[in-house]
Structure 1
Amino acid sequence: MALKDVWFSPAFGEAFPKGLFLLGEIAAVTEFSTDRNAPKRQKVDLDNEGNGTGKRLWKGTVTDPTAMGAKNASFDVVFVADVQPVPAVGEVVPGMTPIELEGLQVKPKVAGSGEYKSIGWNVRATGIKGDTSGAKQAPADPGAVRQAKAA
Structure 2
Amino acid sequence: MSLKNAWLRPAHDEMFENGAVLLGQIEPLAEFSSDRNAPKRQRLDLDDEGRGTGKLLWKGTVADPTGMGAKNSTFDVVFVADVMPVPSAQPVLPGVTPVRLEGLQVKPKIVGNGEYKSIGWNVRATGFEGDTSGSKQPPADVPASRPARDGKAVA
TM-score (norm 2): 0.89
Q: State the identity %.
A: 69
Q: Following superposition of structure 1 onto structure 2, how do residues 48-127 of structure 1 map, counting pairs within 5 Å?
A: 48-127=48-127
Q: Which aligned runs of 4 or more in structure 1 are off by greater than 3 angstroms? A: none
2: distance between equivalents of 1:34 and 1:139? Answer: 37
Please list every run of 5 or more consecutive structure 1 residues that lacks an aligned counterpart in the other structure. 145-151
Offset at residue 141 of structure 1 (A): 4.6
Quick one: structure 1 residues 141 and 92, their matched pair in 2 at CA, closer, same or farther if it must change by over 3 Å?
A: farther
What is the identity, as a one-letter code, of the residue corresponding to 1:114?
Answer: G
Please list every run of 5 or more consecutive structure 2 residues that lacks an aligned counterpart in the other structure. 145-155
The answer as to whether partners of 1:133 and 1:140 remain within 8 angstroms in 2 is no
Offset at residue 46 of structure 1 (A): 0.3
Equivalent residue of 2:87, what SS? coil
Equivalent residue of 2:143, what SS? coil
What is the identity, as a one-letter code, of the residue corresponding to 1:29?
Answer: L
The answer as to whether partners of 1:87 and 1:130 remain within 8 angstroms in 2 is yes
Provide the residue aligned with 2:147 in structure 1. Answer: none
- Relative to structure 2, which stretch is displaced further, 135-144 or 32-41? 135-144
2: distance between equivalents of 1:39 and 1:67? Answer: 38
Offset at residue 66 of structure 1 (A): 2.1
Offset at residue 37 of structure 1 (A): 1.5
Equivalent residue of 1:143, what SS? helix
Provide the residue aligned with 1:22 in structure 2. Answer: 22
2: distance between equivalents of 1:37 and 1:86? Answer: 30
What is the identity, as a one-letter code, of the residue corresponding to 2:11?
Answer: A
Offset at residue 70 of structure 1 (A): 2.0
2: distance between equivalents of 1:6 and 1:32? Answer: 24
2: distance between equivalents of 1:83 and 1:58? Answer: 9
RMSD over aligned CA atoms reads 1.3
Equivalent residue of 2:3, what SS? helix
Post-superposition CA distance 1:22-44 (Å, at most 9, x none): 00000000011111221110000
Quick one: structure 1 residues 92 and 141, their matched pair in 2 at CA, closer, same or farther if it must change by over 3 Å?
A: farther
- Relative to structure 2, which stretch is displaced further, 130-139 or 56-65? 130-139
